[in-house]
């Protein structure tokens, strides 16, 4: 079911499952799933259930609301169907999908919902969920990602997380964690809620903190308007601002490469690795925020972020056996820093703020990608400022001492800017450098003192900014040996290793969601009670009860 090439690019003119309506500072995001427009054959998306294709459209809509509609302060999420809000992830799709697709599907849906929460927290674009009908499983998890949930009190509308009793799996889109950590539902009530197939409705849903408000149908629309008005008053979104259009990416798919304007991905399937080459800016930045607006989505940092985001998603879903991602860069580091300086200086402007917030999300996407991440800092590279964050996101980083023979490229260098010390926190809530030096916090001040200085290999290794530096004699062999060794390890073992090591420090709702997805749901999705021939996913809807192995493991 998952051999098809999955494209993460779309736009509202191609939506099959969502509709956007605008009324001043309020937008409606209406879920109206076309049950026949499935990503793969073999199932129908009945009852507003969804597959990855539905969520790709949702992610696109959330992104466009941020960049194309700065005037929107509140987004009302609602259903376009009678008597059902959303039945969650389509069960036939899950039953027929590969294990890899199921887990990557859950990861992407989590990132999309995290993006909604980031939009509220960082951009002031608030979300209300208006639930009429059943919000089950992933449908309720979608509601959980919003700021305020209003449930119709009509005897029919319910919220539920029925995965354990019905499917022998867990809510895969952070449902359990958001119930306890975000909505702060009491543990015993959460236990009861998650083991009752029919869910909870009415006043009990409010009392248990599962929703914020329960309203009769006769007053429902007015209650939604009132809630939107209150949330709009809390938003810092600019009045009267004009958005920018997010136009289709310029990209070419080849058999062993994907080529964008500022990113190139070269795929070595025999070696199970891909090299992601990032091209620095070819022109200096504009003078001010007005210049950023005039360049729109062709403004280099935004164009690069969109291309890198698409490349990571393409590798995740369409190249599952590529185990190592190698990051390289080339260009003028001083120009990268000039763009950083412009974005930092114009943070009062909504578009500059959105671009920085987008880079935060792209870097987090790299952080939680289940591949070995390697940075090669070579002569002519431009890992500076924001781009240096990619080096710090990697599991290993190697830096060349000196230059290659026969080239006039400058020696490899890393250059830090203020961007590495605050704007781009990881899922654990602290920066990549703070995570890197968790046991040596005093090093952070030493590193800060080097802001703006091109740091060559010896200095970077001394400061702990790279793993190892090699001279030109050893470089090729040492890198080759590392990559061959990495390819020889178990993919499962590396996924667990990397997920455990990347997020040292504080635990947050985000780290819990992705950690539990990697460990618990990854494991449960492979267990016969869920995915076996007699498991709940396979037998759902057949009238035949699942046959469970009752051993506790």
- Please write the tens of the pLDDT for every residue from 19-43: 999 999 999 999 999 999 999 999 9
Q: What are phi and psi of 158, to 5 degrees?
A: -140, 160
Burial per residue of 356-374, b for 16 or more beta-carbon CB atoms within 10 angstroms, e otherwise: bbbbbbbbbbbbbbbbbbb
Q: Do domains 12-233 and 251-501 have the same CATH topology?
A: yes
| 456: pLDDT strictly greater than 90 | yes
- Report in angstroms the alpha-carbon separations of 465 from 172, 202, 224, 416, 460: 35, 55, 50, 10, 5
| Range 350-375 average pLDDT | 98
Condensed to tens digits (0 to 9), the pLDDT of residues 99-115 reads: 999 999 999 999 999 99
Whole-angstrom Cα distance, residue 277 to residue 263?
Answer: 6
| Range 353-372 average pLDDT | 98
Min mean pLDDT across 64-73, 128-137, 141-150, 538-547 is at 538-547
Kindly report the CATH number that applies to the domain delimited by 251-501.
Answer: 3.90.226.10
Residues of the chain above pLDDT 90, percent: 92
Domain ranges of the chain: 12-233, 251-501, 509-539
Distance of alpha carbon 481 from the chain centroid: 32
Q: Quick one: pLDDT at residue 1?
A: 54
| Range 437-448 average pLDDT | 96
Question: Who's near 23: CB < 8 A, 6+ residues apart?
Answer: none
| 2: pLDDT strictly greater than 70 | no
Please report which confidence band the pLDDT of residue 239 belongs to, taking 50, 70 and 90 as the band edges: confident
Q: Quick one: pLDDT at residue 406?
A: 82
| 391: pLDDT strictly greater than 70 | yes
Asked if 246 and 293 count as a contact pair (C-beta separation under 8 A), the reply is no
Whole-angstrom Cα distance, residue 391 to residue 373?
Answer: 9
Strand 74-79 and strand 126-131: pairing? parallel
> How deeply is 29 buried, as exposed, middle or buried, from its count of CB atoms within 10 A (0-12, 13-18, 19+)?
buried
Q: Quick one: pLDDT at residue 74?
A: 98
Alpha-carbon torsion, ordered 523, 529, 534, 538, to 10 deg: -60
| Range 428-453 average pLDDT | 97
| Range 53-59 average pLDDT | 98
Number of Cβ atoms within 10 Å of the Cβ of 203: 11
Closest by Cα among 199, 205, 211 to 162 = 199
Please report which confidence band the pLDDT of residue 446 belongs to, taking 50, 70 and 90 as the band edges: very high
| 518: pLDDT strictly greater than 90 | no
Q: Which token pair is 71?
A: 């005037």
> How deeply is 42 buried, as exposed, middle or buried, from its count of CB atoms within 10 A (0-12, 13-18, 19+)?
exposed
Residue 526 vs residue 284, higher pLDDT = 284
Q: Quick one: pLDDT at residue 124?
A: 96
Q: Quick one: pLDDT at residue 427?
A: 97
Q: Quick one: pLDDT at residue 552?
A: 85
Q: Quick one: pLDDT at residue 240?
A: 86
- Report in angstroms the alpha-carbon separations of 543 from 162, 229, 402, 533: 17, 47, 69, 15
Strand 414-415 and strand 454-455: pairing? antiparallel
Asked if 141 and 175 count as a contact pair (C-beta separation under 8 A), the reply is yes
Please report which confidence band the pLDDT of residue 3 belongs to, taking 50, 70 and 90 as the band edges: low
Kindly report the CATH number that applies to the domain delimited by 12-233.
Answer: 3.90.226.10
Number of Cβ atoms within 10 Å of the Cβ of 425: 17
């Amino acid at each position: 079911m998952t051999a098809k090439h999955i494209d993460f690019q779309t736009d509202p003119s191609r939506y099959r499952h969502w509709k956007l309506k605008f009324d001043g500072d309020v937008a409606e995001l209406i879920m109206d799933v076309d049950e026949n427009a499935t990503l793969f054959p073999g199932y129908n998306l009945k009852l507003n259930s969804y597959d990855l294709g539905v969520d790709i459209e949702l992610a696109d809509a959330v992104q466009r609301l941020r960049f194309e509609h700065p005037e929107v302060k509140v987004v009302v999420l609602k259903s376009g169907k009678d008597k059902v809000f959303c039945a969650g992830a389509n069960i036939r799709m899950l039953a027929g999908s590969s294990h890899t697709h199921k887990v990557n599907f859950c990861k992407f849906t989590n990132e999309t919902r995290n993006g909604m929460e980031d939009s509220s927290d960082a951009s002031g674009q608030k979300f209300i969920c208006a639930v009429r009908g059943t919000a089950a499983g992933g449908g309720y998890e979608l509601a959980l990602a919003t700021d305020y949930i209003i449930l119709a009190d009509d005897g029919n509308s319910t919220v539920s997380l029925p995965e354990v009793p019905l499917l022998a799996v867990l809510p895969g889109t952070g449902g359990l964690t958001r119930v306890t950590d975000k909505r702060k539902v009491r543990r015993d009530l959460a236990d009861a809620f998650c083991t009752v197939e029919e869910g909870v409705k009415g006043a009990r849903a409010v009392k248990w903190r599962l929703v914020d408000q329960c309203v009769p149908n006769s007053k429902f629309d007015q209650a939604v308007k009132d809630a939107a008005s209150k949330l709009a008053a809390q938003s810092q979104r600019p009045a009267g601002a004009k958005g920018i259009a997010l136009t289709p990416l310029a990209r070419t798919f080849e058999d062993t490469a994907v080529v964008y304007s500022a990113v190139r991905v070269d795929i070595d399937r025999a070696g199970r690795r891909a090299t992601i080459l990032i091209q620095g800016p070819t022109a200096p930045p504009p003078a001010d925020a007005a210049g950023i607006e005039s360049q729109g989505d062709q403004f280099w940092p935004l164009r690069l972020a969109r291309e890198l985001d698409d490349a990571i998603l393409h590798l995740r879903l369409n190249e599952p056996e590529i185990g190592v991602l190698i990051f390289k860069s080339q260009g003028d580091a001083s120009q990268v820093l000039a763009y950083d300086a412009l974005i930092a200086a114009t943070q009062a402007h909504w578009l500059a703020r959105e671009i920085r917030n987008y880079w935060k999300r792209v870097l987090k996407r790299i952080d939680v990608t289940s591949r070995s991440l390697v940075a090669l800092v070579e002569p002519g590279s431009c890992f500076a400022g924001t781009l240096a964050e990619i080096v710090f996101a990697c599991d290993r980083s190697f830096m060349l001492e000196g230059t290659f023979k026969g080239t006039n490229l400058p020696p490899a260098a890393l250059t830090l800017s203020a961007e590495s010390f605050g704007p781009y926190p990881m899922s654990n809530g602290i920066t990549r450098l703070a995570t890197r030096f968790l046991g040596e916090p005093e090093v952070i001040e030493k590193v800060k003192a080097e802001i703006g200085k091109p740091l060559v290999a010896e200095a970077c290794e001394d400061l702990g900014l790279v793993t190892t530096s090699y001279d030109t004699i050893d470089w090729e062999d040492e890198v080759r040996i590392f990559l061959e060794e990495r390819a020889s390890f178990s993919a499962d073992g590396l996924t667990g290793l990397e997920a455990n090591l990347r997020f040292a420090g504080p635990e947050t709702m985000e780290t819990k969601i992705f950690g539990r997805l990697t460990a618990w749901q990854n494991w449960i999705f492979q267990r016969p009670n869920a995915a076996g021939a007699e498991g709940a996913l396979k037998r759902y809807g057949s009238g035949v009860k699942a046959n469970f192995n009752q051993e506790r493991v």
